[in-house]
Structure 1
Amino acid sequence: MTQPAYIFMDFDGVTHPWGEVEDFRCLPLIEAVVRDYEEARIVIASDWRVLFSLSKLVSRFSEDLRGRVAGATPHLIPKHGSELHGLREREAMAWLRQHVPDVPSASWCALDDAPGNWFTRSRLLLTDFKRGFTDEDAGALRRMLDDFRSGTPRPAAQPPSFLRRA
């Protein structure tokens, strides 16, 4: 079996345009991609995880994919403003350390509309916050997942040590 590929997913600006009706109108397109990759697992990395229970968040997904939502990242509280840059990636790495035996070889990517949340840009699929996840983004996600499947994932460069906080 192929090793799991974790998709750390934001909601606002990804599943629907940011600042508009929170109707998750783009989620069916994301789900269509995930259905084609049995190894794909979703980890919620949205601020919604601090507002709603995991079961409430999982209920947003189609019934056939709810079991593929592997959880939500921990909520880390920055001590300084400088720790905001890359915070989502630090939360994702904390989640991986809790759930994956070999983090450096883990297959993961992120769907987010805010580039400052992630150090490892090669693993970030950046959406346009005004549009959410699009057909073009679906093609990019498929390419990332194909790379993981073929064993040629994009490098996960380590952020500078002073920025690596769990």
Structure 2
Amino acid sequence: MTGTTYIFMDFDGVTHPWGEVEDFRCLPLIEAVLREYEETRIVIASDWRMLFSLSKLVSRFAEDIRPRVAGVTPHVIPKRGAELHGLREREAMLWLGQHVPNVADAAWCALDDAPGNWLSRSRLVLTDFKHGFTDEDAGALRRLLDSFRSGNPVPATSREPSFLGRA
């Protein structure tokens, strides 16, 4: 087993469908996957981190998962609109820089419904904002976590999203 793996997690569009009741209906499925991987820790990368205290955010999780919430990412305010692209990943890298000895070797992935937040697509489990985290997403997360556990993680390759017309 490898060391700690960090999962940077959004809430809206992940733990529940975006724009619907904020009932965290998908969180039990996420937690079920986490229980299979004791080495995982959650870092909250959701905008909720600016609205609620860490203890309030942690209280959303099941009692056995709460101790595995490692914190929240720092909030970076972009100076230009172009800085919004990949902003959550930059915030995640800042968090890692404060908490792990070597960011380049850190095991991490993200759960988010907004692809523009993350440049390292190979480490992103992209949920459908209309549904939140699904069984299919659970399978994708397990594959990523298995790759970290086996010592053969996918590289954090950065590429522009196809919707911007670049490959």
Range class of TM-score, shorter chain: over 0.9
Residue matched to 2:54:
54
Per-residue CA distance 1:23-75 (angstroms, 9 max, x = gap): 00000000000011010000000000000000000000000010000000000
1:157 is displaced (CA, Å) by 2.6
Q: TM-score, normalised by structure 1?
A: 0.94
The one-letter code matched in structure 2 to 1:32 is A
Provide, for residues 90-141 of structure 1, a one-character-per-residue CA deviation record: whole Å limited to 9, x for no partner. 0000000000001101000000000000000000000000000000100110
Distance 2:158 2:111 in 1: 19
- CA–CA distance in 2 between the matches of 1:80 and 1:73? 20
What amino acid maps onto 1:124 in structure 2?
L
How far apart are the structure 1 equivalents of 2:102 and 2:145?
Answer: 19
CA distance in 2, matches of 1:127, 1:98: 28
Partner of 1:71: 71
AA aligned to 1:118 is W
1:118 pairs with 2:118: yes
How far 1:156 moved relative to its partner?
1.1
Match of 1:136 in 2: 136
User: Structure 1 stretches (4+) deviating beyond 3 angstroms?
Assistant: none
Partner of 1:163: none
Matched, 1:107 2:107: yes
Task: Give the SS at the match of 2:98.
Answer: helix
User: Structure 1: 5+ residue runs without aligned partners?
Assistant: 161-166
**C-alpha separation between the residues in 2 aligned to 1:135 and 1:105?**
29
Partner of residue 45, structure 1: 45
Structure 2 residue ranges without an equivalent (≥5): 161-167
- The aligned counterpart of 1:26 is 26
How many residues were matched structurally?
A: 160
